[in-house]
């Protein structure tokens, strides 16, 4: 349901009764901790290296705020080993009324689906929550899956990532109003309670308390598997099969001399790496031939056709389908231009006439029941696809492999089709994962996938249409686009902005951006403050791109951020600190003040353009 929504901010308003809120939180490696995986595929934890996930801190803050007042009550729940109790102690120190620790050796190594089942059971049996808050994601892996899965298991609506949050009562129904932040832009929504809400980092100040103010563990209630009423074996449908350090082939060249000399040398090195004399890039793989007739299916949930995402996704789906002798069914949202979908890899279309996520899941599940389970369900790592695939994973008991940067089709010992993939995990680690579920379900970082050479096709694709009703619990206003969110996928040159760049001086970047025809990107800490849109964030919890040049200005070089430019042809770093980690992860390094370097780069590029008669590059060239 769409339409204008009157939005107010500021907590509980009107005659809304007291709220019971629950924040679901997790422990993650402290920034600077390794975040590496052990041989069993589990996170290596060292005393003092763990803390509450930054997004979960906002969930706690919102839970405490919304439950404030007579009759309200806020609870915080975590699932993890004994040391995870510390995040609950800190939450209590921040004002939470009660804390529940779910811990059992049988849950060790649980994947997102098992975790969601345990959390949903605890919420259902022990909290009576009106609002269930989760962090939008976590810094040790951008799954963003637990919230939608918990919502599906509890039969509740889900919204996220939420900025301002306001609760009121309308016609006897408690509703939550918020503005949602996504890669595509901002949208005001209103959802009937109870509901699950993922909280954005910019929603509020984080809940933090000094360790010497934390209460003892006597205020934390502990529940084991038996206490929760669970019986039978615990089996995660997805698993980590190994891990490896991210391989970096870069050989940093740290320049010296005057700033002007360093800039001239940097431009020469960049041109030599991308010019005609550079090594020829491998040809893009081709989309496999189209398949017709009865066969297994790979369903691909596609996004807007004007972006690069459906092309990359359909090409990958076609390669997987060809391996298994299957065909690709592209699941299409309303109004999508599908003219090129056949050449990109689709064999048939399933057109949804609505885009409400929860009803779409019910319709797709019914369609799957009627037409047979697909071999795989794939989607881009975007908000809509994450919710739909997370909910379907819970319904199909299949689990979800999230945020894969590479995927490979395989067969197991019984000949059953399987997918194996890799995803960022920790500071500089790639986790290798696979799925044992009956349907292979994955979200993919399309920016890390090749754009395959389109295939020649003739004729229209077979098309089916299904009705998707609106969600009666949800009203959504129009999308306010957050710029061209797909621009980074297409850009040949990208300027990355770190905390070292004064936000009051961003205008000084514009001449350089125009000369290079570049797009702007940023680190998480920059986008979390709102200095640049969330859609411009790169890294382990955001996007991955492959430009010819990534110019890092004032970027410290956290591997969580640099994993997002792993596939860049050239990384040119500018930082005033010669010990900055970015200089170990770049191709070319200039030790200088960012503003002085920008002026020198502009002068050198303008001089070279005048000498050759070249005009400034057009954006997106």
* 12-38 tens-digit pLDDT: 555 556 899 999 999 988 764 445 555
Residues 250 and 348 in one domain: no
DSSP E strands in 200-282: the ranges are: 220-223, 238-245, 253-254
Predicted confidence at residue 426, as pLDDT, reads: 60
* Cα gap 44→41, rounded to integer Å: 9
pLDDT band at 8; cut points 50, 70, 90: very low
Q: What is the tens place of the pLDDT at every residue in 363-413?
A: 999 999 999 999 999 999 889 999 999 999 999 999 899 989 899 999 988
Contact predicate 579/591, CB 8 Å: no
Q: What is the model's pLDDT at position 618?
A: 46
Mean pLDDT for 79-93 is 96
Q: Check whether 259 has a pLDDT greater than 80.
A: yes
* Total domains present in the chain: 3
Task: Give mean pLDDT, residues 95-120.
Answer: 94
Per-residue tokens: 404: 């894969």
**Distance of alpha carbon 356 from alpha carbon 369, whole angstroms:** 20
Q: What is the pLDDT of residue 577?
A: 96
Indicate the residue among 436, 469, 502 that finishes a domain.
Answer: 469
**pLDDT value at position 24?**
98
Alpha helices in 495-593 (DSSP H): 510-516, 524-528, 559-562
Domain boundary among 411, 438, 469: 469
For residues 385 and 516, state if they share a domain.
Answer: no
- Judged by DSSP in three states, 59 sits in helix
Give the residue from 186, 216, 236 where a domain finishes.
236
Please determine, for residue 193, whether its predicted confidence score (pLDDT) is greater than 90: yes
Q: Do 463 and 326 reside in the same domain of the chain?
A: yes
Task: For residue 53, give the nearest of 67, 33, 74, 82 by alpha carbon.
Answer: 33
Cα 153 from Cα 571, distance rounded (Å): 44
The mean pLDDT of 236-258, rounded to a whole number, is: 84
Each residue of 181-190: pLDDT tens digit?
A: 887 788 999 9
Confidence tier at 247 by pLDDT (50, 70, 90): low
Write down the pLDDT at residue 4.
Answer: 35
pLDDT of 5 reads 42
**Average pLDDT of 443-465?**
89
pTM: 0.86
CATH code where residue 209 lies: 3.40.50.620
User: Could you tell me if 309 and 387 lie in one domain?
Assistant: yes
User: Which run of H or of E encompasses 594?
Assistant: helix 594-612
pLDDT category, 303, cuts 50, 70, 90?
confident
CB-CB neighbours of 415 under 10 Å: 6
pLDDT score of 289: 87
Question: Tokens 């709102």 map to which residue?
Answer: 530
Same domain, 442 and 557: no
Q: Is residue 228 part of a domain?
A: yes
The pLDDT value given to residue 233: 64
Q: What is the mean pLDDT of the chain?
A: 87
Task: Identify the CA nearest to 580 among candidates 552, 550, 555, 597.
Answer: 555
Mean pLDDT of all residues in 126-149: 88
Map tokens 């809120």 to a residue.
21
Radius of gyration in angstroms for the set of CA atoms belonging to the chain, rounded to a whole number: 25
Kindly state whether residues 97 and 164 are assigned to the same domain. yes
User: Which residues have a Cβ under 8 Å from the Cβ of 363 and sit 6 or more positions away?
Assistant: 352, 466, 467, 468
Q: How many percent of the chain have pLDDT more than 90?
A: 64
Residue 50, preceding peptide bond in cis (omega within 30° of 0): no
pLDDT score, position 396: 96
User: At residue 479, does pLDDT exceed 90?
Assistant: no
Query: Is position 255 within any domain?
Result: yes
**pLDDT for the residue numbered 437:** 92
Inter-helix orientation angle 112-126/146-154, to 10°: 50
Give residue 82's domain range: 11-236
| Per-residue model confidence (pLDDT) at position 494 | 97
Confidence of residue 41 (pLDDT cuts 50, 70, 90): low
Q: Is residue 475 part of a domain?
A: no
How is residue 200 written in tokens? 């954005």
The two three-digit tokens of residue 89, written as one number: 């102690």
**What 3-state DSSP class applies to 267?**
helix
Q: How far apart are CA 196 and CA 607, in angstroms?
A: 56
- The DSSP annotation for 528-543 comes to HTTSS-GGGBBSTTSB
DSSP 3-state of 323:
helix
43 and 119 share one domain:
yes
397, 442: one domain? yes
Q: Are residues 108 and 144 in the same domain?
A: yes
Q: Based on the domain organization, do 226 and 257 belong to the same domain?
A: no
> Is position 304 within any domain?
yes
Strand order across the 549-553 sheet:
253-254, 588-591, 570-575, 549-553, 493-497, 519-522
Q: Is residue 5 part of a domain?
A: no
Mean pLDDT computed over 144-164: 95
Cα-based angle 143, 481, 3 (whole degrees, multiple of 5): 95
For residue range 506-561, list pLDDT tens digits in order. Answer: 999 999 999 999 999 999 889 888 888 888 999 877 788 889 999 999 999 988 89
**59 within a domain of the structure (yes/no):** yes
pLDDT at residue 394, as a whole number: 96
The answer on 369 and 226 residing in a single domain is: no
Cα–Cα distance between 350 and 300 in angstroms, integer?
10
237 burial type by CB count under 10 A (0-12 exposed, 13-18 middle, 19+ buried): buried
Residues 420, 354 share a domain: yes
User: Is residue 7 scored above 60 in pLDDT?
Assistant: no
- CB distance 181 to 164 below 8 Å: no
- Other Cβ atoms closer than 10 A to 218: 6
- Is position 478 within any domain? no
Q: Which DSSP category does 618 fall into?
A: P
- Are residues 385 and 392 in contact, defined by beta-carbon separation less than 8 angstroms? no
pLDDT at 92: 98
User: Is it true that the peptide bond before 161 is cis, omega within 30 degrees of 0?
Assistant: yes
Cβ-based neighbour number of residue 224 at 10 Å: 14
Q: Phi and psi at residue 172, in whole multiples of 5°?
A: 80, 5
Least confident of 104-113, 201-210, 449-458, 534-543: 534-543
Nearest of 605, 452, 620 to residue 548 by alpha carbon: 620
User: What pLDDT, on the 0 to 100 scale, is given for residue 280?
Assistant: 46
For 112-121, 215-224, 297-306, 308-317, which range has the lowest pLDDT when averaged over its residues?
297-306
Residue 290 lies in a domain: no
Among 474, 466, 445, 451, which Cα is nearest to 386's? 445
Could you tell me if 314 and 379 are in contact, meaning their C-beta atoms sit under 8 angstroms apart?
no
Assign residue 548 the CATH number of its domain.
Answer: 3.40.50.1220
Residues 6+ apart with CB under 8 A from 564: 538, 539, 540, 542, 543, 544, 545
């Amino acid at each position: 349901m769409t339409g204008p929504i009157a939005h107010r901010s500021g907590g509980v308003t009107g005659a809304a009764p007291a709220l019971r809120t629950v924040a679901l939180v997790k422990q993650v490696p402290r920034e600077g901790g390794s975040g590496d995986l052990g041989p069993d595929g589990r996170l290596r934890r060292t005393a003092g290296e763990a803390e509450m996930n930054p997004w979960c801190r906002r969930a706690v803050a919102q839970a405490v705020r919304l439950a404030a007042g007579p009759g309200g009550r806020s609870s915080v729940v975590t699932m993890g080993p004994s040391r995870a109790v510390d995040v609950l102690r800190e939450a209590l120190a921040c004002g939470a009324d009660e804390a529940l620790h779910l811990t059992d050796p049988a849950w060790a190594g649980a994947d997102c689906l098992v975790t969601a089942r345990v959390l949903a059971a605890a919420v259902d049996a022990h909290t009576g929550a009106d609002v269930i808050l989760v962090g939008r994601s976590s810094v040790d892996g951008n799954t963003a899956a637990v919230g939608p899965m918990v919502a599906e298991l509890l039969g509740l609506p889900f919204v996220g990532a939420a900025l301002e949050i306001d609760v009121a009562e309308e016609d006897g129904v408690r509703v939550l109003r918020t503005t949602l932040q996504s890669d595509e832009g901002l949208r005001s929504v209103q959802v009937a309670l109870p509901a699950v809400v993922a909280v954005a980092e910019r929603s509020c100040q984080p809940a933090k308390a000094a360790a010497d103010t934390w209460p003892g563990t006597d205020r934390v209630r502990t529940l084991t598997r038996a206490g929760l009423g669970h019986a039978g074996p615990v089996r995660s449908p997805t698993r980590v099969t190994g891990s490896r350090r991210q391989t970096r082939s870069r050989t940093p060249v740290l320049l010296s001399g005057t700033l002007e000399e360093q800039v001239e040398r940097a431009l020469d090195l960049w041109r030599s790496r991308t010019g005609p004399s550079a090594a020829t890039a491998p040809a893009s793989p081709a989309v496999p031939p189209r398949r017709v007739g009865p066969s297994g299916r790979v369903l691909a949930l596609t996004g807007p056709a004007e972006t690069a995402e459906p092309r990359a996704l359909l090409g990958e789906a076609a390669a997987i389908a060809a391996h298994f002798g299957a065909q690709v069914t592209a699941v299409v949202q309303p109004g999508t231009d599908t003219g090129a979908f056949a050449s990109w890899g689709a064999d048939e279309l399933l057109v949804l006439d609505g885009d409400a996520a929860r009803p779409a899941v019910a319709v797709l599940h019914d369609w799957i029941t009627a037409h047979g389970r697909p071999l795989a369900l794939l989607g881009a790592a975007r908000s809509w696809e994450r919710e739909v695939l997370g909910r379907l994973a819970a319904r199909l008991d299949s689990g979800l492999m999230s945020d894969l940067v590479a995927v490979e089709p395989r067969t197991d010992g019984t000949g059953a089709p399987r997918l194996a993939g890799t995803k960022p995990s920790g500071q500089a680690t790639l986790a290798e994962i696979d799925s044992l579920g009956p349907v292979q379900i994955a979200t993919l970082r399309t920016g890390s996938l090749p754009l395959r050479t389109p295939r020649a096709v003739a004729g229209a694709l077979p098309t089916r249409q299904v009705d998707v009703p609106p969600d009666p619990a949800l009203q959504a206003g129009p999308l306010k686009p957050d710029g061209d969110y797909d621009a980074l996928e297409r850009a040949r040159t990208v300027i990355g902005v770190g905390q070292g760049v004064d936000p009051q001086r961003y205008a000084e970047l514009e001449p350089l951006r125009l000369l290079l025809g570049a797009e702007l990107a940023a680190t998480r800490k920059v986008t979390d403050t709102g200095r640049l849109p969330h859609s411009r964030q790169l890294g382990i919890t955001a996007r991955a791109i492959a430009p010819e040049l990534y110019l890092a200005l004032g970027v410290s070089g956290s591997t969580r951020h640099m994993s997002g430019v792993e596939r860049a042809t050239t990384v040119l770093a500018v930082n005033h600190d010669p010990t900055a980690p970015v200089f170990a992860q770049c191709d070319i390094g200039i030790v200088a003040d960012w503003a002085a370097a920008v002026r020198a780069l502009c002068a050198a590029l303008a001089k070279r353009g005048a000498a050759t008669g070249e005009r400034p590059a057009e954006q997106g060239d």
